[in-house]
Amino acid sequence: MYVALFPGQGSQASGMGKFLFSEFQKAREVFEEASEAISFDLKKLCFDSSDSDLQLTENTQPALLVTSIATYRVVHHEYGLTPLAAAGHSIGEYAALVASGVISLSHGTQAVRRRGQAMQAAVPVGQGGMMATLGLDENQARWLCDWAKKESGFGPLSPANFNCPGQIVISGNTKTLDWLRLNLKPEEIPGAPRRVKLIPLSVSAPFHCEMMAPAEAVMREVLTGIPFAKGLFPIVQNFQADFEEDPQKLRENLIRQVSAPVLWTQSLETIKKKGLFQFIEFGHGQVLKGLLKKIDSENFQVWTTSSLDEVRALESHLKASGH
């Protein structure tokens, strides 16, 4: 009764996945296959790169994919665990599709490498950015973006990531974001939120907004050329926050995801309505675990897998629960 979760950008760190490579043959096979697919040494990237190199989105995306899939395949192989469904945050959705068997690891690695390059190239450096808003609900975040565009006279700005209640990331024109930071008037926001905080994010491009349209066009071409199969389990996708199994719809939603917001809170509410409350976060870090605590700390249980101790703890839990 587990749902597999796969993290997105912001989870990466130098050394990620190294313990898997050292301990498990299945992980070594994943790193070799993914590296061969893009003629690039992902072991060196994940294990030895500086954090600044890993933050380059064309590096971040394949690094996250290979680490997540290495983790998933180790757990699947060692403990025979197959989830009932999966979801991935932004780039993590590619790992969900590879885990389910919708797309191959080789095709997935090639696609995310191209995705990172296309997203970086879509907007000249410095012209777009992202900002976390704290304390707003969905309607207030949308109002804030519309208000900033109207009052500043600058370009696009829209919600990009609905991460959890009270944490919504907005994305768009740097000028609009800078104007908003200087001119925010919390008392004017409908519903008068008790507190509002804006935190500029250290990202290289304005992801998940209309400024990513050129990257979406590139990914339409890339993903149209990749076979999508019926997976082993459904994926709750970012674009529409619902379970999907049809290969053609999975492809289309993945294409649209590039310039559309990540409906993460909505996706978890969809999963919850199905009576699913236990999750395993496959990959580095505990970012998704933190978000799920804020979405429903009472009912959601999340196991993480970013160290050997965490994997062994998961093993103990699975054995104790009779898996």
Residues that are catalytic = 90, 208
C-alpha distances in angstroms, 132 versus 54, 196, 201, 224, 310? 21, 10, 7, 33, 29
**Nearest CA among 227, 121, 226, 132 for reference residue 171:** 132
End-to-end CA distance of the chain: 10
Pairing of strands 167-173, 128-134: antiparallel
How does strand 85-88 pair with strand 157-164? unpaired
Strands (E), 22-149: 85-88, 128-134
- What span, in angstroms and rounded, lies between the C-alpha atoms of 179 and 133? 15
Contact 71, 35 (CB under 8 A): no
- DSSP-derived secondary structure for 160-222: EEEEETTEEEEEEEHHHHHHHHHH--GGGSTT--S--EEEE---SS--SSGGGHHHHHHHHHH
99-112 as b/e, with b when 16 or more CB fall inside 10 Å? Answer: bbebbbbebbbbbb
Whether the CB-CB separation of 67 and 42 falls below 8 Å is answered with no
CA distances from residue 241 to 142, 230, 245, 266 in whole angstroms, order as listed:
18, 19, 13, 6
**Contacts of 297 by beta carbon, 8 Å cutoff, 6+ apart:** none
Dihedral sign, Cα of residue 265, residue 216, residue 46, residue 19: positive
CA distance linking residue 202 with residue 129, whole number of Å: 8
